[in-house]
């Protein structure tokens, strides 16, 4: 049960954070009645308030409530000494012969101009039901009281709930307007952008007038048909260069070698002498060959 209650209190204080800008340390106005009940139940009131509000607490007491402690019967000196350690909130009622009631004094401190707003963001801790009933009419006032030795944080009052709902609706409408303006472009701006695209651009991609003023915009890239990927294209095969060179060499050599039957040309212009071939005689058997050689030698 304590865990659920603490979670509800944290959520409630988060609403005060978001909608009413409450910040630490929380300024807690204590009246004399809640201090007396806390002393009677032996409650560490400041420690309980810090746990309940989930943050640092600055306890405050008005001059009128301090005078109520001095005039209480029986007089509790320990309680007075404890209250002196809290921050004194001047209510400008110290010159009066009799102190004002907690209702009048706290109402004057929280809402001095009767505008039903908690300008200084006070948290009111009071045991007087009339004080809490009046504070519920002021928007953004957290209320605390003690019930059977249990410190309780009241839920938001009617005025606080209405103001919170009104602010949330205003924020929601402002968010929708911002989204619409962001999604729907301005017609005038669109026409102006088209006209700027039609103007001449230099190499930097902006118009001459824009570059002179230093407000050059990046050039708009227009989409179109793309060239094929050069890596995917098949390259043409080149013919090997060694074969034609060999063919040319053979042709040249054939053209320079003369035929066997042709006569060699004489550079002097005279016809060259024909070369005679030697005819080999058949060899004879025995001495016939020797007689023939002798006869040939004897003949002139």
pLDDT tens by residue, 238-266: 766 655 555 555 555 555 555 544 455 55
* Tokens coding 126: 């009071």
> Do 104 and 85 form a contact (C-beta atoms < 8 A)?
no
pLDDT of residue 130 exceeding 80: yes
The model carries a pTM of 0.58
Q: How far is CA 128 from the centre of its chain?
A: 52
User: What's the confidence (pLDDT) of residue 193?
Assistant: 56
- Cβ pair 242, 256 in contact under 8 A: no
Provide DSSP, 186-230: -HHHHHHHHHHHHS---TTSS-HHHHHHT-PPPPPPPP-PPPPPT
Give the pLDDT confidence of 135-155 residue by residue, as tens digits. 999 999 999 999 989 999 999
| Residues 8/15, Cβ–Cβ less than 8 Å | no
Instruction: Determine the pLDDT at residue 227.
Output: 78
In 131-191, DSSP assigns E strands to 143-147, 150-153
Cα–Cα distances in Å, from 34 out to 68, 76, 126? 12, 14, 6
pLDDT of 37:
95
Q: Is 258 helix (H, G, I), strand (E, B) or coil?
A: coil
- Picking from 64-78, 103-117, 161-175, which range would have the lowest pLDDT averaged per residue? 161-175
**Cβ neighbours of residue 261 under 8 Å, at least 6 residues apart?**
none
C-alpha to C-alpha distance for 171 and 175, rounded to whole angstroms: 6
What is d(CA 295, CA 299) in angstroms, rounded to the nearest whole number? 6
Tokens of 27: 């300024």
Confidence of residue 52 (pLDDT cuts 50, 70, 90): very high
Residue length, the chain? 300
pLDDT band with cut points at 50, 70 and 90 for residue 198: low
In the chain, what are the domains? 1-161 (3.40.50.1010)
Locate 166 and state its tokens.
Answer: 């009104």
Tens-place pLDDT, residues 203-243: 444 444 455 455 556 666 767 777 778 777 777 777 666 55
């Amino acid at each position: 049960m304590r865990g659920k209650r603490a979670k509800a209190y944290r959520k409630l204080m988060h609403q005060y954070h978001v909608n009413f800008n409450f910040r630490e340390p929380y300024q807690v106005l204590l009246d004399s009645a809640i201090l007396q009940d806390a002393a009677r139940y032996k409650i560490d009131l400041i420690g309980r308030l810090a746990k309940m509000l989930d943050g640092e607490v600055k306890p405050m007491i008005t001059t009128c409530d301090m005078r109520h402690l001095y005039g209480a019967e029986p007089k509790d000196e320990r309680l007075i000494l404890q209250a002196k350690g809290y921050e004194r909130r001047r209510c400008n009622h110290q010159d009066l012969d009799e102190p004002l009631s907690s209702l009048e004094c706290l109402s004057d401190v929280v809402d001095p101009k009767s505008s039903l707003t908690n300008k200084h963001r006070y948290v009111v801790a009071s045991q007087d039901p009339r004080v809490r009933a009046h504070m519920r009419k002021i928007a953004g006032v957290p209320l605390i009281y003690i019930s059977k030795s249990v410190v309780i944080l009241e839920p938001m009052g009617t005025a606080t709930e209405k103001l919170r709902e009104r602010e949330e609706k205003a924020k929601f409408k402002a968010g929708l307007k911002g989204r619409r303006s962001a999604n729907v472009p301005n017609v005038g701006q669109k026409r102006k952008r088209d006209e700027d695209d039609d103007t001449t651009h230099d190499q930097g991609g902006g118009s001459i007038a824009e570059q002179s003023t230093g407000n050059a915009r990046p050039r708009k890239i227009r989409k179109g048909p793309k060239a094929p990927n050069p890596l995917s294209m098949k390259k043409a095969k080149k013919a090997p260069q060694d074969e034609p060179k060999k063919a040319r060499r053979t042709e040249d050599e054939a053209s320079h070698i003369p035929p066997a039957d042709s006569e060699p040309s004489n550079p002097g212009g005279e016809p060259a002498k024909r070369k005679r071939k030697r005819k080999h005689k058949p060899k004879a058997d025995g001495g016939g060959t020797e007689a023939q050689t002798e006869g040939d030698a004897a003949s002139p």
